[in-house]
Chains A and B, each alone.
Chain A
């Protein structure tokens, strides 16, 4: 039906006049020519400005620029076709009707595309933008060597892909060098390029698992054997011929990361030298994704090694450049510290998938007759190596028996052993990292960078808290792997959980001491605005740690923690106390808030007295008493001030500031007191009633346990402050007086009581 319309269209669509036709075609050709000229002018300008002094491989990148090349090719054809049509017309052929619509579309596309391409031409001034073609090529080589790619098992093809990719990496390194040495490229462009590189590295971690571990893609290097580790026949042969031992060829499984990571480190280096802390922060944030990917693939050491490399750069920069501490610098130390936490959390997440059941399921899903199937299950590299060892042996079994005899549990055991070996190594590494953070903090203190050191300690605290939260899970996962094993006669790795937990515990003790020490350092150092309140955090943490050591009866730690806490708390009060001389309701509130840490201190001092008597360990109380004793002679007004603080800092009809914190401490102390043995006696007189006695020699302990009295500050006020010279005349409150009287009564009962032989039930 449509075909019938053709004559109608032909009559309605006249053939254009020859002169107009030629003139129109000429115009199109001229437009195309102009665009080509303009494009090459832009390219030449860029080449003259940037590419004149660059290595050949970078210049090649410009000539290989994909979008520009496609456009120029298109434009050339769109220019050439009108010229051909003009030539045909001049040769006597009539004008073509269809030339009009087709050429107008071709020309229109060329004109519209030129607008977009014009903008892209400016990209040529930034060579790092040309890296896209390199990434594309790299992806193609990766596809080829991955399982299922064209001739992916052929060593020649693998070797070729390695060589090609190596040259691509050379190009990337040259681009990074170029960007790092040009002032206009070393900031944004280099950063953007490095972020792309990090994304590439992250992606590579995933795609790498699809490549056989013995593939020549990974390149190889010589490894010279030791004479005394080599078999006799080989050494004898070498001796007789007077030659050296033939080196072994080993695969460089991390060749790509080793080379490409240098770009990231270079970018980091450039930015810290230029003090572009925002760029550093952005880069570290992007590095976090890569570190996460490494940790998830179980390559914990590589992840931490990268963090360490970056940290070393930062440390060197800080030691060479004595710039004052700033929020940005403290922020960088903070982000660097947080990367280690990211490693830990990512590893924990990876371990979650490491159950015997999931391993069994993955092994079950492998089709041993198709080797490719091994590489689609996302086995980590260590497990992949093992399965690659197993696969040809199962194939041999199939050849011999006609079926595979080796059961899945055996393969699962082999994998479990590899997993457990990796776990032992990684768990030890995790504790080591905590120690590294501590050492870094110590070095920062020596360099006088107290605030950076505080940031690192704060991250270490988070790290160790996370470790404490996850350590049970990690150890349990190891136990689960251990429990699922079938073969007892394999060489299974050993993991001493107690020793590991002890090492982590020692780190925590060391951190607690460091935080206490930092209270003094931060108190005396010049405040840096815009950084987190590390002083407040460390005072709070030290107070909590003091409660822990008092409850655990760790006498050695009490003095270490309390002395800095005392000085820090008093300094904190000075900072927080209201400066307004007018005493109104707001000033009162401010005063209550400022008094809260002092009341915490009094509370802890009281607990130390109570717990010293509870444990019968005077050393819990002596360091605290000594610290207070040294304070009063220097400050005669200290005692009345403390009385005022206790009176004004604790509002009567509302929960005081930090009241919940102190209640929590009280409850923990009470739990300790509840464990005391109790005896029930017949009451005095008729004997109808019974009374309960706490079996402890200390009247204070008996009183507190019996009446559930556990206000630490009141104990301290009653038994210490009120007994100081001048303290007896100060008002400490009814509870304090009651406590003193009760203890005196108890004392009297003990010395001359009439109920010497009560009848015990």
Chain B
């Protein structure tokens, strides 16, 4: 199994890649601040800058040959196709970025003439239907040449699909979250902004109440994730609840990380690779939940809870 470094030399995927906006309907808020911040935070929270220095150990189980094959699959998601030390982290990060924006990542398993995996090509969710594990893509007219067909049918064997884990709301829950996250304009309703632009101070509208409702909506939507909204001096919650959410967020990101790694291992098995990725040195989701419970019982304080649940070098 060898994949040419040059993209032009690689076997072409059948599915179309084309530019689309966010997978959810456009936000009411022109800035979509919460949407952007949330998806960014999701990706950045999974980053481990240097696995060796951080004490995190990422190993492949299996024979050298099988391990090389598994690493190759991971490297396919890295644009440079180098078998770098942290290719697994890069691959996980890549998948997470797709999941963060859409709640689901779809890859076409591209094979060469020998039937070997030559590439993993991501394609957008837009215009895609999943039927009994198979996939039907209807590309927009502008995304294909006139000679090409807009319709692509992908068999289950050639499709690698990763959804958000169920604990975090799954695909549907995540899309709903993203759709609602920036539904409220962060700078106030339209009429309020208009009034402000012309120098009027709206008398019957209490912006403080609006801000509270806005924040409450954000907290409520991201309850499962425990996302802080990058608000380190929260006005509407206690410091305890802020830490509670911080631990919840750490738990959620760890659940996501492990879910993606497990999906890689499932892919390896599907592709007949007798190897699997094993990560150690990171607090497990169960450990984080236990720390949160201990904090709730008052057995450890905020500093201790934060210290023992923090990913290394994060």
Using CB atoms and an 8 Å cutoff, list the residues of chain A in contact with chain B: 390, 392-394, 396-397, 399-401, 405-407, 409-410, 486-489
Main secondary structure of the interface of A (DSSP, over half): helix
A407 and B296 contacting across the interface, CB-CB below 8 Å: yes
Chain B, Cβ-Cβ closest to A404: B241
Interface centre among A396, A486, A489, by most chain B C-beta atoms within 10 angstroms, is A396
Query: Which residues of A are found within 8 Å of B240, using beta-carbon distances?
Result: 405-407, 410
Residue in contact with A486 in the complex, picked from B219, B220, B237, B298, CB distance below 8 Å: B298
Main secondary structure of the interface of B (DSSP, over half): helix
A397 and B303 contacting across the interface, CB-CB below 8 Å: no
User: Cα distance A564–B237 when bound, in Å?
Assistant: 66
User: Cα distance A351–B311 when bound, in Å?
Assistant: 45
B220 and A390 contacting across the interface, CB-CB below 8 Å: no
A396 and B236 contacting across the interface, CB-CB below 8 Å: yes
A406 and B236 contacting across the interface, CB-CB below 8 Å: no
User: Cα distance A397–B242 when bound, in Å?
Assistant: 10
- The distance from the CB of B24 to the nearest CB of chain A, in whole angstroms, is 22
A394 and B238 contacting across the interface, CB-CB below 8 Å: yes
Query: Which residues of A are found within 8 Å of B239, using beta-carbon distances?
Result: 410
Within 8 A of A (CB), among B217-269: 219-220, 223, 236-241, 244
B297 at the interface (CB under 8 A from A): yes
Chain B, Cβ-Cβ closest to A389: B238
The 6 closest A-B pairs by CB, nearest first: A409-B298, A410-B240, A486-B298, A489-B303, A400-B219, A406-B240
User: Cα distance A487–B240 when bound, in Å?
Assistant: 10
B301 and A487 contacting across the interface, CB-CB below 8 Å: yes
User: Can you name 13 A-B residue pairings with CB atoms under 8 Å?
Assistant: A394-B238, A396-B212, A396-B216, A397-B237, A400-B220, A406-B238, A406-B240, A407-B240, A407-B298, A410-B239, A488-B303, A489-B302, A489-B303
Question: What is the interface size of chain B, counting residues whose CB is below 8 A from a CB of the partner?
Answer: 18
Known A-B contacts A488-B303, A489-B302; A397 and B223 likewise in contact (beta carbons under 8 Å): no
User: Cα distance A486–B302 when bound, in Å?
Assistant: 9
Query: Which residues of B are found within 8 Å of A409, using beta-carbon distances?
Result: 298
Residue in contact with A396 in the complex, picked from B237, B244, B302, CB distance below 8 Å: B237
Residue in contact with B238 in the complex, picked from A397, A401, A486, CB distance below 8 Å: A397
B241 and A405 contacting across the interface, CB-CB below 8 Å: yes
- The distance from the CB of B229 to the nearest CB of chain A, in whole angstroms, is 12
Query: Which residues of A are found within 8 Å of B219, using beta-carbon distances?
Result: 396, 400
A401 and B223 contacting across the interface, CB-CB below 8 Å: yes
User: Cα distance A332–B219 when bound, in Å?
Assistant: 63
| Further 19 A-B residue pairs, CB within 8 A, beyond A410-B240, A487-B302, A488-B301 | A390-B238, A392-B236, A393-B236, A393-B238, A394-B238, A396-B219, A396-B237, A397-B237, A400-B219, A400-B220, A400-B237, A401-B223, A405-B244, A407-B240, A407-B296, A409-B298, A410-B239, A488-B303, A489-B301
User: Cα distance A390–B237 when bound, in Å?
Assistant: 8
- The distance from the CB of B300 to the nearest CB of chain A, in whole angstroms, is 9
Residue in contact with A399 in the complex, picked from B220, B238, B296, B301, CB distance below 8 Å: B220
B241 and A393 contacting across the interface, CB-CB below 8 Å: yes
Query: Which residues of B are found within 8 Å of A397, using beta-carbon distances?
Result: 237-238, 241
Chain A, Cβ-Cβ closest to B235: A393
- The distance from the CB of A368 to the nearest CB of chain B, in whole angstroms, is 12
Query: Which residues of A are found within 8 Å of B212, using beta-carbon distances?
Result: 396
- The distance from the CB of A29 to the nearest CB of chain B, in whole angstroms, is 61
A400 and B216 contacting across the interface, CB-CB below 8 Å: yes
Within 8 A of A (CB), among B255-314: 296-298, 301-303
Query: Which residues of A are found within 8 Å of B244, using beta-carbon distances?
Result: 405-406
Query: Which residues of A are found within 8 Å of B298, using beta-carbon distances?
Result: 407, 409-410, 486
Query: Which residues of A are found within 8 Å of B302, using beta-carbon distances?
Result: 487, 489
- The distance from the CB of A301 to the nearest CB of chain B, in whole angstroms, is 29
Query: Which residues of B are found within 8 Å of A396, using beta-carbon distances?
Result: 212, 216, 219, 236-237
- The distance from the CB of B38 to the nearest CB of chain A, in whole angstroms, is 16
Query: Which residues of A are found within 8 Å of B303, using beta-carbon distances?
Result: 488-489
User: Cα distance A407–B240 when bound, in Å?
Assistant: 8
- The distance from the CB of B231 to the nearest CB of chain A, in whole angstroms, is 13
Chain B, Cβ-Cβ closest to A402: B223
B216 and A399 contacting across the interface, CB-CB below 8 Å: yes
Known A-B contacts A400-B216, A400-B219, A487-B302; A410 and B238 likewise in contact (beta carbons under 8 Å): yes
Query: Which residues of B are found within 8 Å of A407, using beta-carbon distances?
Result: 240, 296-298
Query: Which residues of B are found within 8 Å of A394, using beta-carbon distances?
Result: 238
User: Cα distance A407–B223 when bound, in Å?
Assistant: 18
User: Cα distance A399–B297 when bound, in Å?
Assistant: 22
- The distance from the CB of B152 to the nearest CB of chain A, in whole angstroms, is 43
B301 and A405 contacting across the interface, CB-CB below 8 Å: no
Residue in contact with B223 in the complex, picked from A390, A400, A486, CB distance below 8 Å: A400
Query: Which residues of A are found within 8 Å of B301, using beta-carbon distances?
Result: 486-489
